[in-house]
């Protein structure tokens, strides 16, 4: 280390810029990022099935965050946010690479970036320029060619390329940047060996190790003896019972134990920062074979709800982070970039526009995070079923905006962590304020929005578990000039129905023929009633007359008649005005269809 560097480090130490050991050496940095690890997958976060003693001990000896969030609901954007301190929306890297192609979806995704810009300031390059040895072990998934780890400041790359999952968890691995080991060597074990080898080779200088596990991503696998042990105790009625997944998590725990043991043997443990987290929520699709359950959180990877974005975060820094502490302040992946730079005593690149905040004052226990909102932007479709959305968390409130329709959902996480009670209509001012804050943030960071897709093919709506076919306003297709969907909180309705030529439709799927009663939730202002509206389902038609309800946003459920469905299949359900004596037809919030009988004589 140069004499100037030593002087600067000493000044930083005196001024409190970072905490170093007695010799003034900056701390080593170890970031462990697990792929697809859910919020409740660890013993320290409530799992009773997964065996994670080393991770649990890390939490007991460090700080555990209860409200930590990934910067995106999928992997590549979160990884980019960690390395740059920028929101994926600002980077225009907003989906897993290369993303999911939906040529007939309602919206077309923007022209987003399928790789991390090599000119973007990033953690590895910053630390390397300050004298750190840098390495990535495991998954990269931020692009190939000019976006490979070697082009972005990593001295060593063991296992990373453009792919998002390993071909095999047992050697031979099929990874060009990781030589195969002995036959049937396990990939997570190998990542641990590579991590330890890097630490040993750089014991005399500061190092940054980005241990980016391929686990616990698919293809899920585990060592046979460990899998057998979990199968013997698995309860298929429990949310978490997947033996292979549990064995894969245990391999991550073993890896952490191996690294911490070697750090202690080399005398490096007291001057090493360890950050342990995940890139998104746990995968819950697959029915009974779903890898995990994120309960009490709703949904999982790829979705806007807490199960898709809330993640474990544990920080260990002897002498700085008080053991056994818990932090409930909401934090996000973008915060790790400025945090680790401050921990190392390194100034950011001049003019670098970053979004994260340093957590070092919080780690030290003497500071508090400023009040701020957290944001997400996902203008894509996900294989798990999620549609393009934006979201904001402000205090206890969380708002989700669905880009297909503008539909808003509002939840209070303090009273409803499972996001089961939607409150946009109950608290319209709060919903509208958060929607504006989200829109302002998108403009501020230059977020790319999806666009209407001219090749859109509507997906049919199916009967729900209760036997009802619910046709909500936000799922409708409007036809005409003025007619449109008006989003919550004040609206959530089909409105501006000022032309009799305009009409609205839904694509539906009915598996059971029969007679279906139609209920329309309609509103109509004083002096605007009397419009005659045709209701059609396939070839079956009925008519009803709109009644005044005292206001367009005062809705009255009206059973308007019965439609016959002679065969199963896909149909268009439509509402078409036939007359309009007043200024407008009506507002519609929802249409319900309930099967009341088999076909036969009308009752």
What are the structure tokens assigned to 148, written together?
A: 């490979």
pLDDT-based confidence at residue 1 (cuts at 50, 70, 90): very low
Name the catalytic one among 72, 75, 255, 528.
Answer: 75
Partner residues linked to 374 by β-bridges: 393
The predicted structure's pLDDT at residue 6: 39
Q: Please tell me which residue, 582 or 490, carries the higher pLDDT value.
A: 582
29-84+122-337 CATH pick, 3.40.50.720, 3.40.720.10, 3.30.110.60, 3.30.565.10: 3.40.720.10
The CATH code of domain 461-597 reads: 2.60.120.260
Give me the phi and psi of 124, to 5 degrees please: -65, -45
Residues 88-118: b if buried by 16+ CB within 10 A, e if exposed: bbbbbbbbbbebbebeebbbbbbebbbbbbe
Annotated active-site residue 407? The verdict is no
State the burial class of residue 84 (Cβ atoms within 10 Å of its Cβ: 0-12, 13-18, 19+): buried
Give me the mean pLDDT over the 131-147 stretch: 95
The pLDDT confidence band at residue 23, using thresholds 50, 70 and 90, is very low
Cβ 535 vs Cβ 559: under 8 Å: no
pLDDT for the residue 157: 97
CA-to-CA distance for 204 and 223, rounded, in angstroms? 35
Q: Find the mean pLDDT for residues 285-312.
A: 93
pLDDT of residue 8: 42
pLDDT (mean) for 218-237: 94
pLDDT of the residue at 380: 97
> What pLDDT, on a 0 to 100 scale, did the predictor assign at position 600?
66
End-to-end CA distance of the chain: 91
220-248: average pLDDT: 95
In tens, the pLDDT along 148-169 reads: 999 999 999 999 999 999 999 9
- Domain residue ranges of the chain, discontinuous segments joined by +: 29-84+122-337, 387-452, 461-597
Q: Is the predicted pLDDT of residue 601 greater than 90, yes or no? A: no
> Is the pLDDT at 236 greater than 70, yes or no?
yes
CB atoms within 10 A of CB 6: 13
528 catalytic residue (yes or no): no
Mean pLDDT over 176-196 rounds to 96
Asked whether 130 and 140 are in contact (CB, 8 A), the reply is: no
- Give, in degrees to the nearest 5, the angle at Cα 152 between 148 and 157: 55
* Reported confidence tier of residue 16, pLDDT bands at 50, 70, 90: very low
How high is the pLDDT of residue 18? 38
pLDDT band at 4 (very low <50, low <70, confident <90, very high): very low
**What pTM does this model have?**
0.90
Long-range contacts of 542-549 (CB under 8 A, 24+ apart): 542/518, 543/578, 544/520, 546/522, 546/585, 546/586, 547/522, 548/524, 549/522, 549/523, 549/524, 549/525
Q: Return the CATH number of 387-452, one of 3.40.50.720, 2.40.440.10, 3.30.70.890, 3.30.1120.10.
A: 3.30.1120.10
Question: How far apart are the C-alpha atoms of 593 and 603, rounded to whole Å?
Answer: 17
- Which residue is catalytic, options 51, 141, 377, 474? 141
Mean pLDDT of 45-69: 98
- Residue 385, pLDDT score: 81
Q: Is 325 helix (H, G, I), strand (E, B) or coil?
A: strand
Q: Would you place residue 546 in the very low, low, confident or very high pLDDT band (cuts 50, 70, 90)?
A: very high
Cross-strand pairs, 570: 509
Tokens for 366, please give them: 């003497």
Q: Name residue, tokens 């040993």.
A: 200
Span 541-566, mean pLDDT? 95
Structure tokens at 316: 């260990």
Strand ranges, E, within 73-214: 107-108, 133-138, 156-158, 207-212
Q: pLDDT by residue (tens digit) across 245-276? A: 999 999 999 999 999 999 999 999 999 999 99
Question: 11 pLDDT exceeds 50?
Answer: no
Coarse DSSP helix, strand, coil percentages of the chain, rounded to the nearest 5 percent: 25, 25, 50
Please tell me the distance from the alpha carbon of residue 70 to that of residue 63, in angstroms, as a whole number: 17
User: What φ, ψ does residue 161 adopt, rounded to 5°?
Assistant: -155, -160
| Whether residue 79 has pLDDT greater than 60 | yes
Residue 488 pLDDT: 82
E-assigned strands of 111-269?
A: 133-138, 156-158, 207-212
């Amino acid at each position: 280390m140069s004499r100037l560097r030593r002087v600067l480090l000493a000044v930083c130490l005196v001024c409190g810029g970072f905490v170093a050991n007695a010799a003034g050496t900056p701390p080593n940095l170890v970031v462990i990022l697990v792929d697809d690890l859910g919020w409740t997958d660890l013993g320290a976060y409530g799992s009773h099935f997964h065996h994670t003693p080393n991770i649990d001990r890390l939490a007991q000896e460090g700080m555990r965050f209860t409200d930590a969030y990934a910067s995106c609901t999928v992997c590549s954007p979160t990884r980019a946010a960690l390395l740059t301190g920028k929101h994926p929306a600002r980077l225009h890297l907003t989906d897993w690479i290369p993303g999911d192609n939906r040529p007939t979806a309602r919206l077309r995704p923007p022209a987003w970036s399928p790789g991390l810009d090599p000119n973007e300031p990033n953690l590895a390059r910053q630390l390397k320029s300050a004298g750190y040895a840098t390495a990535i072990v495991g998954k990269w998934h931020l692009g190939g060619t000019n976006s490979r780890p070697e082009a972005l400041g990593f001295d060593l790359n063991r296992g990373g390329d453009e792919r998002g999952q390993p071909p095999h968890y047992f050697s031979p691995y099929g990874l060009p940047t990781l030589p195969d080991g002995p036959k049937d060597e396990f990939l997570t074990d190998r990542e641990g060996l590579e991590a330890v080898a890097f630490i040993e080779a750089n014991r005399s200088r500061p190092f940054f190790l980005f241990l980016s596990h391929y686990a616990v991503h698919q293809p899920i696998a585990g060592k046979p003896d460990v899998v057998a042990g979990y199968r013997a105790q698995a309860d298929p009625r429990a949310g978490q019972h997947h033996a292979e997944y549990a064995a894969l998590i245990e391999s991550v725990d073993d890896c952490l134990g191996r690294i911490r043991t070697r750090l202690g043997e080399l005398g490096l443990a007291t001057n090493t920062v360890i950050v342990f987290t995940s890139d998104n929520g746990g995968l819950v699709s697959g029915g009974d074979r779903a890898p995990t359950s994120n309960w009490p959180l709703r949904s999982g990877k790829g979705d806007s709800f807490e199960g898709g974005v809330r993640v474990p975060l544990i920080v260990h820094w002897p002498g700085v982070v008080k053991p056994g502490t818990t932090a409930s302040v909401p934090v996000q992946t973008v915060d790790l970039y400025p945090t680790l730079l401050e921990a190392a005593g390194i100034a950011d690149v001049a003019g670098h526009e970053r979004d994260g905040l340093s957590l070092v004052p919080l780690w030290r226990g003497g500071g508090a995070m400023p009040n701020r909102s957290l944001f997400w932007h996902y203008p894509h479709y996900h294989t798990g079923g999620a549609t393009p959305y934006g979201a904001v968390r402000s205090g206890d409130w969380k708002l989700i905006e669905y880009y297909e329709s503008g539909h808003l959902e509002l939840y209070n996480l303090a009273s409803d962590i499972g996001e089961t009670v939607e409150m946009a209509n109950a608290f319209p001012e709060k919903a509208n304020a958060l929607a504006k804050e989200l829109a302002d943030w998108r403009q501020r960071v230059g977020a790319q929005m999806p666009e209407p897709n001219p090749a859109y093919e509507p997906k049919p709506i199916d009967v729900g578990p209760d036997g009802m076919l619910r046709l909500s306003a936000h799922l409708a297709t409007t036809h005409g000039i003025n007619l449109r969907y008006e989003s919550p909180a004040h609206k959530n309705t089909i409105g501006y129905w000022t032309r009799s030529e305009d009409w609205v439709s839904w694509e539906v799927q009915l598996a059971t023929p029969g007679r279906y009663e139609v209920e329309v939730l309609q509103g109509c202002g004083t002096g605007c009633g009397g419009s005659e509206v045709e209701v059609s389902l396939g070839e079956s038609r009925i008519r009803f007359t709109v009644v005044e309800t005292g206001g367009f946003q005062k809705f009255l459920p009206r059973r308007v008649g019965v439609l016959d469905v002679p065969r199963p299949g896909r149909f268009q359900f439509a509402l078409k005005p036939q007359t309009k004596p007043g200024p407008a037809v009506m507002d519609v919030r929802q249409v319900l269809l309930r099967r009341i009988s088999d076909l036969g004589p009308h009752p």
